[in-house]
Amino acid sequence: MNTEAKVGIFVLVCAAILLTTVYKVSNAQIRGARVSYRTYLRYAGGLVPGADVLFGGIKVGQVTAVRPDPQDPTRIEILLDVKQGTPLNAKSVAKLGSVTVVTSPVISISMGSNDAPRLPAGSEIASKETISLDDTERKIVALADSAQTLLESVRTDMNNLTGDARSLMANLNDATGKPNQQHLADILANADAMVARLSPKIDQIGDQAVKLTNDANGVMAKVGPAIDNVNATVSNANETITTIREPAQADLAEARKTLEQAQGLIVDLRAAWRAKDQDITYTLKNIRMATDNLNDLTESVKERPWSLVRIKQPKDRKVPATRTP
């Protein structure tokens, strides 16, 4: 081996060592500037380690591991390395997504809220499930089945509607046949004749209406001054009522006072009547007895008027004896 070959091999070895050193240093710097987090999903959708992690659509890290959760085998544990300083907070939500249709799946993290506390390193990021292709296919199949049922129903309804339309057309054909057309023509002819016959009367009614309107305008013109007089009379009546209101109110007050006094007098008379009720009853009995005695005396005088001047009843007169001839 000559000297040039040895120099070339030495240069290549030195370049390889330099590149390895640069790679190691860069990788160590990158790893030292990242923070680990984890999240859990029910469906990973082909996610593999090395997939991008997006925060608000910006690439901030990579997926480091995708594996079944040792604590719960029904979900997938996803480990993430995110750039230090990424403002992940308690309101941030991770979900499976993709930038375009043909790209590999990524982990997309929402920005959350500025007021929410920041997540410490190693903590869990809340997750939200996405619809898988299998679920989408099942929904499409169910939608297709329901669409088929709907089409059958629409077909049945269309058949019924077609039958109804045919019945309607048949009825219209019957209604628009020659007999009905002739009958309609006769009705229109009669209507035209009636309009021609009533046209002069309608004109006369219109002239009378115009005349009546003119007469009504004249009456309103004559009634206008009377209405003004009525308004003046009403105004005078209002003034008169206003003038006599206060004296009338005073008279009503006096009348009310008199009524109150009369009520007091009635109350006093009622009390006096109750107090003298027994005396009046006794007096009435005496008056009744005196009246009875007076009636008896009157009857006695009528029957024996001589009792007023004699104490004893006079003897009856003897019948004179008859003489014999």
Q: How confident is the model at residue 77 (pLDDT cuts 50, 70, 90)?
A: very high
Please state, for a pLDDT cut of 90, what percent of the chain lies above it: 15
Most confident of 16-25, 44-53, 204-213, 299-308: 44-53
- The H helix count followed by the E strand count for the chain is 4, 7
CA 176 to chain centre: 50
Q: How confident is the model at residue 49 (pLDDT cuts 50, 70, 90)?
A: very high
Q: How confident is the model at residue 1 (pLDDT cuts 50, 70, 90)?
A: low
Give me the mean pLDDT over the 58-69 stretch.
Answer: 92
Q: Which residue has the tokens 């544990």?
A: 77
Q: How confident is the model at residue 14 (pLDDT cuts 50, 70, 90)?
A: confident
Q: What DSSP letter does each residue of 215-259 carry, written as one string? A: HHHHHHHHHHHHHHHHHHHHHHHHHHHHHHHHHHHHHHHHHHHHH
Q: Which residues of 166-203 are buried (b: 16+ CB within 10 A; e: fewer)?
A: eeeeeeeeeeeeeeeeeeeeeeeeeeeeeeeeeeeeee
So what's the pLDDT on residue 155? 78
Lowest average pLDDT, out of 83-92, 131-140, 205-214, goes to 131-140
Q: How confident is the model at residue 25 (pLDDT cuts 50, 70, 90)?
A: low
Distance separating alpha carbons of residues 94 and 39, to the nearest angstrom: 7
pLDDT, tens digit, 9 for 90 and up, residues 238-250 = 777 777 677 767 7
So what's the pLDDT on residue 229? 74
- In a 10 Å sphere around its CB, with 0-12 CB exposed, 13-18 middle and 19+ buried, how is residue 90 labelled? middle
Q: Which own/partner contact pairs does 66-71 have at CB distance under 8 Å and 24+ positions apart?
A: 69/40
CA 266 to chain centre: 62
* CA dist 136 → 44, 130, 133, 169, 234 (Å): 15, 10, 5, 47, 88
Distance separating alpha carbons of residues 136 and 47, to the nearest angstrom: 18
Q: How confident is the model at residue 81 (pLDDT cuts 50, 70, 90)?
A: very high
pLDDT higher than threshold 60 for residue 29: no
User: Is the sign of the CA dihedral 2, 7, 8, 13 positive or negative?
Assistant: positive
What the block records as the tokens of 280 is 């009046």
* CA dist 40 → 43, 73, 160, 229, 241 (Å): 9, 11, 55, 98, 95
So what's the pLDDT on residue 208? 82
Give me the mean pLDDT over the 124-146 stretch.
Answer: 78
> Is there a contact between 105 and 46 (Cβ–Cβ < 8 Å)?
yes
Arithmetic mean of pLDDT over the chain: 78
Distance separating alpha carbons of residues 20 and 309, to the nearest angstrom: 184
pLDDT, tens digit, 9 for 90 and up, residues 145-154 = 787 788 788 7
